[in-house]
Chain A
Amino acid sequence: MKKIQLFTGLLSALLCALVFHIDAQNPKGKFGTFALTNATIETVTKGTIRNGTVVISNGKITAVGENVSIPQGAETIDCKGLYIYPGMIDSGTNLGLSEVGSDARTRDFSEIGDIIPQMKALTAVNPNATAIPVTRVSGITTALAVPSGDLFPGTAALINLHGYTPDQMFAGFEGVVMEFPRSGRRGFFDRRTDEEVKKANDNALKRLNEIWDRAVQYHKVDSATNGKGAGYYPEMQALMPVVRGERTLLIEVNPAKDIQAVLKWVKEKKVKKVVLTGVSEGWRVADEIAKAKIPVITGGILELPTREYDRYDQSYASAGQMAKAGVKVIIRSAENGNQNFRNLPYHAGFAVAYGMDKTEALKAITITPAEVFGVADKIGSIEVGKVANLFVCDGDPFETKTQIKNVFIAGWQMPMVSRQTLLYDEFLKRDPGVNKN
Chain B
Amino acid sequence: MIKKLLRPLVAGFAFCLAWPQLIFAQDEKPVAPVGRSYALTNATIIQAPGRKIEKGTVVMKDGLITAVGAGVTVPPDAIVIKADSMYVYAGFIDGLSHTGVPKPKEERTERPKDPGNPPPDKAGIMPQNDVRNLINPSDKSIEELRNLGFTVSLTVPYGTFLPGSGAVVLLGGKSADDMVLVNNAALYSELTGTQGVYPNTIMAVMAKWRELYKNATQNKSYAASYAANSNGISRPASDRILEAFYPVIDQKLPVIFKSERVMETQRVFTLKNDLGFPLIIGDVKEGWPIVNKIKSSNAKVFLSLELPEEVKKDDKKDDKGKSKKDSVKTDKPKTAIDIEKEGLEKRKKESIALYTSQPSVFNKAGITFGFSALSAKSKDIQGNLRRMIAAGLSEDAALAALTTSPAQLLGLDKRMGSIDNGKMANLVVSDKPYFNEKAKVRYVFVDGNIYKIEAKDEKKDAKAIAKGTWNYTSEHPTDKSGKIEIKEDKGKHSGTIASGSGSAVELKDVNLKDNSLTFSFEGSGGKQEVTVKIDGDNFDGTVKGSQGSFSIKAKRDPKSK
Residue interface mask A185-208, B partner, CB < 8 A = 1? 011010000000000000000010
CA distance A211 to B34 in the complex (A): 10
CA distance A110 to B17 in the complex (A): 10
Decide if A149 touches B37 in the complex (CB within 8 Å).
no
CA distance A150 to B4 in the complex (A): 27
Residue in B14, B22, B29, B77 whose beta carbon sits within 8 Å of that of A224 in the complex: B77
Q: Measured between C-beta atoms, what is the minimum distance from A332 to chain B in Å?
A: 17
Decide if A114 touches B25 in the complex (CB within 8 Å).
yes
Decide if B10 touches A149 in the complex (CB within 8 Å).
no
- Which of B4, B20, B21 has the largest number of chain A CB atoms within 10 A? B21
Decide if B11 touches A187 in the complex (CB within 8 Å).
yes
- Which of B13, B20, B29, B35 has the largest number of chain A CB atoms within 10 A? B35
Q: How many residues of A contact B (CB 8 A)?
A: 32
Decide if A221 touches B77 in the complex (CB within 8 Å).
yes
Residue in B15, B24, B33, B76 whose beta carbon sits within 8 Å of that of A214 in the complex: B33
Q: Measured between C-beta atoms, what is the minimum distance from A25 to chain B in Å?
A: 35
A304-B7, A337-B13 known; A211 and B31 CB under 8 Å? Answer: yes
Residue in A207, A231, A304 whose beta carbon sits within 8 Å of that of B4 in the complex: A304
CA distance A337 to B35 in the complex (A): 41
Decide if A221 touches B79 in the complex (CB within 8 Å).
yes
A150-B21, A150-B25 known; A214 and B77 CB under 8 Å? Answer: no
Residue in A107, A112, A115, A218 whose beta carbon sits within 8 Å of that of B34 in the complex: A218
Note all chain A residues with C-beta closer than 8 A to B37: 221, 229
Q: How large is the interface on B (under 10, 10 to 19, 20 to 34, 35 or more residues)?
A: 20 to 34
In the complex, the chain B residue whose C-beta lies closest to that of A210 is: B31
Secondary structure of the A contact surface, majority rule = loop
Note all chain A residues with C-beta closer than 8 A to B17: 101, 107, 110
CA distance A150 to B31 in the complex (A): 15
For residue B32, CB closer than 8 A to chain A, the reply is yes
For residue B513, CB closer than 8 A to chain A, the reply is no
CA distance A217 to B36 in the complex (A): 12
CA distance A187 to B35 in the complex (A): 40
Note all chain A residues with C-beta closer than 8 A to B437: none
For residue B28, CB closer than 8 A to chain A, the reply is yes
Decide if A114 touches B28 in the complex (CB within 8 Å).
yes
Note all chain A residues with C-beta closer than 8 A to B10: 337-338
Q: Measured between C-beta atoms, what is the minimum distance from B508 to chain A in Å?
A: 33
Residue in A186, A214, A231 whose beta carbon sits within 8 Å of that of B31 in the complex: A214
Interface members, chain A 249-281 (any B CB < 8 Å): none
Q: Measured between C-beta atoms, what is the minimum distance from B220 to chain A in Å?
A: 48
Decide if A214 touches B13 in the complex (CB within 8 Å).
no
Decide if A187 touches B15 in the complex (CB within 8 Å).
yes
For residue B51, CB closer than 8 A to chain A, the reply is no
Decide if B24 touches A150 in the complex (CB within 8 Å).
yes
In the complex, the chain B residue whose C-beta lies closest to that of A337 is: B10
Decide if A231 touches B35 in the complex (CB within 8 Å).
yes
Note all chain A residues with C-beta closer than 8 A to B34: 214, 217-218, 221, 230-231, 233, 236
Interface members, chain B 323-341 (any A CB < 8 Å): none
For residue A242, CB closer than 8 A to chain B, the reply is no
Interface members, chain A 266-303 (any B CB < 8 Å): 302
A-B contact pairs, 9 of them (CB 8 A): A112-B21, A189-B15, A207-B28, A211-B31, A217-B79, A221-B79, A230-B34, A231-B34, A337-B10
Q: Enumerate chain B interface residues (CB-CB to A < 8 A).
A: 3-4, 7, 10-11, 13-15, 17, 20-22, 24-25, 28-29, 31-35, 37, 76-79
Q: Enumerate chain A interface residues (CB-CB to B < 8 A).
A: 101, 107, 110, 112-115, 149-150, 186-187, 189, 207, 210-211, 214, 217-218, 220-221, 224-225, 228-231, 233, 236, 302, 304, 337-338
